[in-house]
Amino acid sequence: MTNVYTLLKITDKLTLQFGSDPTGRFFLCLVTIMWILVGIYAQKYKEHQKHNARFFTFYILTWVMLASLTMAANYLTMYLCFEFMTLLSMPLVLHNGTPESIAAAKKYLFYSIFGATLGLMGMFFVNTYGTTLAFTAGGVLDPAKIAGHETLILWVAFLSIAGFGAKAGLFPLHAWLPTAHPVAPAPASAVLSGCITKAGVLCIIRLVYQIYGVQLLRGTWVQMALIILALITVFMGSMMAFGEDLMKKRFAFSTVSQVSYVLLGVFTMNETALLGALLHAAYHSIIKDGLFLCAGTIIFWTHKEHVSEMKGLGRKMPVTFGSLAIFSLGLVGIPPFAGFLSKWYLASGSLSEGLPVLSWLAPAILLLSALLTAGYLFPICIHGFFPAEGEPEAEGKEGSALMLVPILILAAATVLIGIFASPLKDALQAAAATMF
Amino acid sequence: MNFVQNIPALSILLLMFCGIVCLVLPARWARHLADCAIALVCAASVVLWVAFLRGQEVFTYSMGEIGAPFGNELRAGMLEAAAATLFSAVTLLSILGGRAHLRADIGKKKVNLYYISVLFLLCSMLALVYTNDLFTAYVFVEINTITACGIVMSKEDGYTLAASMRYFIMSLIGSGLFLIAVSILYALTGHLLMSNIQEEVAALYASGQYRAPLQVSIALMGVGLSLKSALWPFSSWLPDAHSSASASSSAMLSGLVLKSFIFLLVKVFYRVVGVTIIPTHAILDLLLVFGILGMIMGSVNALFERDIKRMLAYSSIGQIGYIFCGIGLGTIAGVAAAMVQIAVHACTKAMLFCAAGGLMDASGGSKKFKDLEGAGRRDTYAGVAFIVGTLSMIGIPFFGGFITKLSLVTAAVEVGGWRNTLSILAIIVSTILTAIYYINVLAIIFRGAETGPTTAREKLREQWKKQMRLDTEYELAIVLFILLNLAIGLQSDRLMDVIRTGLAMFG
Amino acid sequence: MNGIAILIVIMLPILGGALLPLLDFDARKARMYYVMAIVLATSVLCLSLISGSEGTQFVLYHLTSTIDIAFRIDRFGSVFALLVSVLWPLSTLYAFEYMSHSHKRNRFFGFFTMSFGITLGVAFSGNLITMYLFYELLTLSTLPLITHDGSREAKVAGVKYLVYSIAGATAAFIGMIAVLTRGGSLEFNVIGLGSAVTEANRNFLDAAFLFMFFGFGVKAALFPLHGWLPTAGVAPTPVTALLHAVAVVKSGVFAIGRVVYYTYDAGYLAGSIVQKVALWFAAFTIVYGTVMAWKELHFKKRLAYSTVSNLSYILFAFLLATPQGLTAGLLHMIFHGLMKIALFFVAGAVMHQSGKTYVTELGGFAKAMPISFGVFTIASVALIGVPPLCGFLSKYAIAVAAVDEGSVSGYLGIAALLISAVFTSMYLLTIVVKAYFPGEGFDPASLKDVKEANWYMTLPLIALAVLMIVLGCLPGGLTQFIAGTLADAFPGL
Amino acid sequence: MTYFFADLPEYAAMILFGIGLSILMLAKNLVKKIIGLNIMDTSVFLFLAAKGYVEGTVAPIVTAEELGRIDSALYSNPVPAGLVLTGIVVSVSVTAVLLSLVVRLNEEFHTLDIDEIIHILRKRDREDL
Amino acid sequence: MNKEKRDRIYAILCTILTIVFIGIMLFMATGLPHLGLATNPDINEVPEFYVEEGPEETGALNAVTAMILHYRAFDTLGESCVLFVAAISVFILLRIDGEASNETVVAIDRRYEPVNDPILSKTFLILVPAVFMFGIYITMNGHLSPGGGFSGGAILAAGFLLYLNAYGLENTERFLTSKLYRRVTALALCFYAAAKGYTFYMGANGLESFESAGIPGRILSAGLILPLNICVAIVVSMTIYSMYIMIRKGGFNK
């Protein structure tokens, strides 16, 4: 961490500190760019909804908190930002004001808070067994203090990581995602899925690499368990998405699955895997934001929410469906689109880690999941462009520029950073290196 | 021989004499004579008590030139002197406090009779306190019973008569048992004086002779006297008797008469049977269990009562349960607790009965709760008395009830086994119930519309004016009662000392 | 001199309150000035006493050779007194407005003021018996406040409160006497039971401790003795707020703290089986309270269950019998006081302004009563434990203390704490969400009569919110002040 | 067995006492209760009187001539006699009071049955409320 | 549970209780000292003292009288008081308060007894003086022979009752009015109490009291015993008479 700035000193150990490091900066950039693009998109989408002042207030506030989170320099500050981000992003979910959306918002809230609380518990222990709460590569735990309490500390680490995993949709705390996304406005879904889940990822990265330390966790049952959880999530998310008809919900399950790719990389705990994770975080943000914006556009113009209703719609909305196809290809990981590279690194990182069974199981599952991804994304495009014989002609038209431009930018990005991957890869490699 | 040693005998004789003289005096003079005699006895008892505090040794006083084991004897120690003071003081205050009611409740021609009964009642209680002779005790127990019924019956209505009848029957079973127990003891020991019997009993116990008759006679005495002192379940007459007896009669009956039998019971246990033998006797367990049942049942009944005097009567049943609980623990500490409870309850309950009389006056003579609303505001003295009584019953430090609980719990935690658990549980349960029904009464007597046609200050002035017209004797009695309660609460340490010293003098 | 000052501080509100029904003000203003003058004077005196006269001891009366009525000012009591004397004027101000349409206001304010003095009496008691005295008096003086309404429900609640409290006090009393009989001293001193602790006495003293713990635990709303607290919510809100969130319940907690650290000592308790039992009960109550709060739909009852849970946080901290535990408990005592009273005030303001009592009816209220619900949100977030608001600090301190203590029971407590935090967010934030986002089909016209309360009510709210934030960010002075108790309770430190 | 017949008064007294007690408890009629009471008291007197007698002695009344050389072994025990005397007086007094109570109760309730009296009182109570 | 059933259960319980009680008492009685033995515990120094020292010390040949009126006089004083308070209680209960007219009293009177029945009058004219004489004799010789104040008083009371029943209240009240009753009773009891108080005080304080044993065997001997017997007789007779009169018709006429 450089440029550490102390905002407030509550007690000697408890301070509100901000600073920046490459990982943080990466997430900050990612989040900010996404926020701007989705914000542009929302300018049009807002015609679809009421209470726009409120929506944008919380939209901005959530970004502020998310940005603060990326720059948090210690555990306390991170926890604080995390909690506030949860609280402030909740109004985005319930924006529609329907009973379902309010229920979904509550669900989101409680899952997040439950997770954060587990994270808080981690802080209690770190406070006692660690030297400081500030993020330090290699962890802050004091070996002298934890001697004899390893089991305890491992449990604490497991629980607190799993806790933050709630935000990242890690099984078994993933259930809020599929509930919250369909009811939220499309821009909200986009940032929730693309960015806010990444906040969870960032927190987990911080915990794993900068609080507990790789040394402590590597090779323990905790790592195993987390990887298994991540794999379960990956597989389960894809399966659920495969069977889901509601488009946004399908994308939400997809998010569940994809974010766990990232987590898998984080938990694998070597540089390659972490690089893959960071890359996938970036790619997934771009792609999933794009997907949700497409979905939003479709809903905006046609009020069709179910995949089964969209047959033939591609002809009426060629740009949208075209982008959708690009995003799909990217997410599945077809080279040269983005998504391939990250999965590659994830797989190779996992294989090089040498964990028993998991080393090869993980790539296998990744592969399977990729197939499933293809299975749930491609049919949308295919049916969109090539409806079956005898289908009635779909109603619909292409959207306004305000909506299309962000989608197109994202689609272009998907292609471009897939093809010209090295600048990003290099930057992230540097970031990943600071973690060890 | 120190002159103060004559005080016990002279008090008894003085009361007797005045009682007899009252028969031929005009009513007014009889009243004054009774007041003066009781006050004098009270003062004399205080003198005796002070003498003990200053180091007077325990003494026996032979009634006639020949003493033990041939003649009657009185015996006085610290505890006896204190009890005599308490009994006479509370009697005096009860009469004062209920005077207004006496005028209304008792026919003109019967005023003398009432005061005769009161004087003889006090006389018999003092005799029970002081006597060192079991047979004398029997005789005075009977006087006590008859006069107690007399003062209840003196307000004639169906309730008092029926209640007296039931009390009589219960009480006569008790005296019968007591008498036959005395006879058996006499047959076994050849003595009637407590000190002599105690020696003989100890010898018999040591030799193992006549064990069965001895045990039975002790048990009979215990049962007999507890029957007389309204131990639950032998107390069904009590609420009826109190509900309609005159205020001072209720006060004396509940506050003192029952206690005098308990005092005698303690004397029997610790003076006749002896402190080493009695704790092994099963009668204590019986008394403990019934005491505990009484504590709870009395309180439960009081909880559902909607008549203030009946409620107080049921409360007495509960409070007597405390005393028997203390005795039943079988330790000196337990008996000391029982003694404290005797004192505290005598003061508190007598005060409450007098105050209840005042409340009734302020509510058109009704004793039903529904009519008593706001009575505590109309009669502030009674209201304050009820507050004091309630605080005491709940066990707030500075008040008597606290000391009772303190000593009873102290005694209870130190005994072992089931007695400990049972009594502590009972204390908790009973305390809660007591608190509820007393606070309920408080809530009722202080309820009532605050707003009215007159402004508040005017109302206050009116209240004051009205109170000026109230009977000054009543006010004086209530104030003195309150002071007495506070004194017991505040000087509890000394009281405990007195009781402990007194009990040590028993041996 | 200072001994007399203690007496003045305690007696001033008691006498002032007792005089109120006699003075019988008819004018609202006059009563207000009178009550406010007494309360403020007491608060000021009390604060000056806390700041200037630490260590004063004063024996009022030797009740028996072993029992005195004695007062003393030490830091532990001062913390409680500080809390009480800061919150009382605020609630009094609030109460004026809240009770403006009630009947028998003189009686109400009489007992309300008396309770102030009695609570201070609890704080400044020098031994267990004195504390017991004020503890019982507190029950009695607050009883009329609960039944103030006069409805059947209120009476039932009053009886329930009475039963529980008296039972608890009696049990505690038995515990005290038990300690006394085994040669223990009831004085609050650091030696604890001293020489009374022998191997033979140990079981006995353990039992006595449990008696006192559960006895005082009644007021501290310990499961299964908490039943009175939610029912007592029928009382007027200032009462529920001040007494059932602060004074009464905290005196139960305070009493247990006294027992743990000053009658027994931390050394006696640490690691003993009774500590475990007590900790388990506290931990269970923490969870139970929040779950019940979550299930409850009545606004004030929900807050009452929340109190149940939070009180056990404090108990839990106290029972850890470590320096951190003590300070953490005291910190939470103060912070919970601030937060809960604010929450109750909002509940009261809602009831007062609109008559709504169920959380389900609060849709859209945030627009109608922006200040109240702003404060409510802040208090909720604080109570959940989000930094940098005050609730976080105390919970954090408790958890850290539990970690430090390091036993299984301690971890159990942490688990309870975390579960509770989640539920806390659930039961509080649902209200916030509902108030700000009433959802579709909400008719704003239905709330057009609902207005923000006037400054009597909002001023205390704002003051509390400011306190919550400021103390959350800058707790230094307070923690210093609280740390002063350690010198007493842990002489070796 | 040797002493069985000699002790017979004792047993008789005990049985009588029990009978008196049971009448006192069981009988509804107040007059019968009083009779029971008297039986009970009498049994005690019987017991005492029997106790006072010593085989082969006479009543403890000496003649003026014997003064100075009285042998107490020749006389029975005077103490139980005194007790019986007192007991009788007490019993008589109590019986008188009880009888007058019965008279008054009969005037008031027109019945001698205590249960019925209580029943009437309870009814009155209920009417009051 | 209905009333009959409850009563039955109560009755059964009581019966069982009494049977158990009698059983216990009988069992206990087998453990008592056997009757009539000179070695029994109750034959100790106390009766010996009463019989051997009593006559000389008190001047009363009847050891029982000596005991009850001298050694255990306090008991006896109490006993007299029992009678007195019993009478008071009877008064409280039965005295007709207020002014019942003369006619009603006479009417009640007539309902109870055959006033002025010639047979009764004549018989009792002879019988009553004899009864009185006998009563006085018993009383006066209480310290010398079997008898004493209680028995004598009871006989005197019998005389009064006979007279009353034969001649009616009005005639009786020619010599025995309420006022007289009260004064005589009070005087007798006062004397009793005062005299005993005096001896108690003197005796207990070791002072010489004036009473002397006199010459045993004479009527005028035995110190205070004779006057006390007379007092007791007065109290007993008056009390029994008054009780009778109360129970009969609720009060004296005059």
Secondary structure (DSSP) of C383-437: HHT-TTSHHHHHHHHHHHHHHHH-SHHHHHHHHHHHHHHHHHHHHHHHHHHHHH-
Task: Compute how many other C-beta atoms are within 10 angstroms of the C-beta atom of residue A167.
Answer: 30
| Beta carbons of E204 and B62 less than 8 Å apart | yes
Which residues of chain C make contact with B395, given a CB cutoff of 8 A? 136, 170, 173
Q: Over range C319-337, report the average pLDDT.
A: 86
| Beta carbons of B368 and D128 less than 8 Å apart | yes
Mean pLDDT of chain A: 81
Residue A422's Cβ-count burial label (10 Å; 0-12, 13-18, 19+) is exposed
| Beta carbons of D89 and E82 less than 8 Å apart | yes
Pairing assessment for the beta strands B59-62 and B73-76 based on DSSP bridges: antiparallel
DSSP C196: G
Range of the domain at A58: 2-434
Is B17's Cβ below 8 Å from some Cβ in E?
A: yes
Residue B456 has pLDDT above 50, yes or no: no
| Beta carbons of C174 and B413 less than 8 Å apart | yes
Separation between Cα atoms, residue B130 and residue B49, nearest integer Å: 13
- B191: its two tokens: 């003595």
Query: Residue A65: what pLDDT?
Result: 86
Query: Residue E155: what pLDDT?
Result: 92
DSSP H or E run through A15: strand A15-20
**E strand map for C5-159:** 57-62, 68-72
Q: At what angle do helices B194-207 and B158-189 cross, to 10 degrees?
A: 60
Q: Over range B176-200, report the average pLDDT.
A: 87
Residue E130's Cβ-count burial label (10 Å; 0-12, 13-18, 19+) is exposed
Looking at the structure of chain A, the number of domains it has is: 1
Q: Identify which of A432, A431, A421, A407 has the alpha carbon closest to the alpha carbon of residue A34.
A: A407
Which residues of chain C make contact with B391, given a CB cutoff of 8 A? 140
Is E196's Cβ below 8 Å from some Cβ in B?
A: yes
Q: What is the DSSP string of A32-82?
A: HHHHHHHHHHHHHHGGGSS-HHHHHHHHHHHHHHHHHHHHB-BHHHHHHHH
Q: Identify which of E78, E88, E241 has the alpha carbon closest to the alpha carbon of residue E156.
A: E241
Chains B and D touch (3+ CB pairs under 8 A): yes
Nearest by CB: B414 against C63, C170, C181: C181
Is E20's Cβ below 8 Å from some Cβ in D?
A: no
Highest mean pLDDT among B242-251, C445-454, D29-38 belongs to D29-38
Residue C77 has pLDDT above 80, yes or no: yes
Q: Identify which of B305, D19, C247, B204 has the alpha carbon closest to the alpha carbon of residue E17.
A: D19
Which residues of chain B make contact with E72, given a CB cutoff of 8 A? 71-72, 133, 135
> Strand, helix or coil at A4?
strand
Nearest by CB: D18 against E21, E67, E236: E21
Nearest CA-CA distance, residue D100 and chain B, Å: 10
Distances (CA, A) of D7 to A155, B198, D12, D57, E33: 88, 26, 9, 17, 9
Which residues of chain B make contact with C148, given a CB cutoff of 8 A? none
Q: At what angle do helices A271-302 and A422-434 cross, to 10 degrees?
A: 120
Beta bridge partners of A134: A74
| Beta carbons of D86 and E217 less than 8 Å apart | no
Mean pLDDT of chain C: 82
Within 294-353 of A, beta carbons closer than 8 Å to C belong to none
Task: Name subunits touching B (3+ CB pairs < 8 A).
Answer: C, D, E
Nearest by CB: B409 against C26, C67, C174: C174
Residue D26 has pLDDT above 50, yes or no: yes
Query: Residue E106: what pLDDT?
Result: 59
> How many interchain CB pairs under 8 A, D with E?
167
Which amino acid is residue A191, in one-letter code? Answer: V
Q: Which chain B residue is nearest to residue E99, measuring alpha carbons?
A: B109
- Which candidate in B14, B65, B192 is best for mutational testing of the E interface (most E CBs within 10 A)? B65
Residues of D with CB under 8 A from a CB of B: 17, 20-21, 24-25, 30, 33, 37, 40-41, 43-44, 47-48, 51, 79-80, 83, 86-87, 90, 93-94, 97-98, 101-102, 104-105, 108-109, 114, 117-118, 120-121, 124, 128-129
- By the 8 A CB rule, do C219 and C257 touch? no
| Beta carbons of E185 and B17 less than 8 Å apart | no
Nearest by CB: A124 against C400, C429, C472: C400
Is E88's Cβ below 8 Å from some Cβ in D?
A: no
DSSP H or E run through B480: helix B472-490
Is D31's Cβ below 8 Å from some Cβ in E?
A: no
Q: Which chain B residue is nearest to residue E197, measuring alpha carbons?
A: B13
ipTM reported for the complex, 2 dp = 0.76
- Which candidate in D22, D47, D110, D127 is best for mutational testing of the B interface (most B CBs within 10 A)? D47
Name the pLDDT band for B459 (thresholds 50, 70, 90). low
Range of the domain at B499: 3-506
- By the 8 A CB rule, do E121 and E166 touch? yes
Separation between Cα atoms, residue A227 and residue A261, nearest integer Å: 10
Q: Which chain B residue is nearest to residue E179, measuring alpha carbons?
A: B24
| Beta carbons of C61 and B410 less than 8 Å apart | no
Query: Residue B455: what pLDDT?
Result: 45
Query: Residue B38: what pLDDT?
Result: 92
Residue C93 has pLDDT above 50, yes or no: yes
Q: Over range A277-296, report the average pLDDT.
A: 83
CA angle, C478 as apex, C477 and C484 as ends, to 5°? 95
Which residue has better confidence, E112 or E80? E80
Is D58's Cβ below 8 Å from some Cβ in E?
A: no
Which amino acid is residue A149, in one-letter code? Answer: H
pLDDT more than 90, % of chain C: 0
Q: Identify which of C371, C367, C379 has the alpha carbon closest to the alpha carbon of residue C457.
A: C371
DSSP H helical segments within A303-336, as ranges? 313-316, 318-332
Beta bridge partners of A72: A18
- Domains of chain D with CATH codes: 8-128 (1.10.287.3510)
Task: Name subunits touching A (3+ CB pairs < 8 A).
Answer: C
**What is the phi/psi pair of residue A305, to 5°?**
-115, -20
Cα of E141 vs its chain's centroid, Å: 16
- By the 8 A CB rule, do A212 and A141 touch? yes
Name the pLDDT band for B240 (thresholds 50, 70, 90). confident
pTM (2 d.p.)? 0.81
Separation between Cα atoms, residue E69 and residue E199, nearest integer Å: 11
DSSP B257: I
Separation between Cα atoms, residue A232 and residue C413, nearest integer Å: 31
| Beta carbons of B435 and C62 less than 8 Å apart | no
Separation between Cα atoms, residue A308 and residue B427, nearest integer Å: 75
Separation between Cα atoms, residue C67 and residue A434, nearest integer Å: 68
Q: What is the pLDDT of residues E114-141, one digit of tens each?
A: 566 788 788 888 888 899 999 998 888 8
Q: Which residues of B244-263 are buried (b: 16+ CB within 10 A; e: fewer)?
A: bbbbbbbbbbbbbbbbbbbb
* Phi-psi map region of A328: left, alpha, beta (phi>0 left; psi -120 to 50 alpha): alpha
Nearest CA-CA distance, residue D74 and chain E, Å: 10
Cα of A181 vs its chain's centroid, Å: 13
| Beta carbons of D61 and E94 less than 8 Å apart | no
Q: Which chain D residue is nearest to residue E69, measuring alpha carbons?
A: D82
Name the pLDDT band for B42 (thresholds 50, 70, 90). very high
Instruction: Give the helix, strand, coil percentages of chain B, each rounded to 5.
Output: 80, 5, 20
Is A153's Cβ below 8 Å from some Cβ in C?
A: no
Q: What is the pLDDT of residues C421-462, one digit of tens each?
A: 888 888 888 888 878 777 766 677 777 777 777 777 788 888
* Phi-psi map region of B503: left, alpha, beta (phi>0 left; psi -120 to 50 alpha): alpha
Task: Compute how many other C-beta atoms are within 10 angstroms of the C-beta atom of residue B457.
Answer: 12
Nearest CA-CA distance, residue D5 and chain E, Å: 10
DSSP A356: T
| Beta carbons of E49 and B200 less than 8 Å apart | no
Within 90-119 of B, beta carbons closer than 8 Å to E belong to 107-110, 113-114, 116-117
Which residue has better confidence, B385 or A216? B385
Distances (CA, A) of A295 to A251, A312, A399, B467, C454: 9, 15, 12, 88, 49
Nearest by CB: D72 against E47, E87, E247: E47
Q: What is the pLDDT of residues A71-115, one digit of tens each?
A: 888 888 888 888 888 888 888 887 777 777 888 888 888 888 888
Residue B245 has pLDDT above 80, yes or no: yes
Cα of C129 vs its chain's centroid, Å: 20
Nearest CA-CA distance, residue A125 and chain C, Å: 6
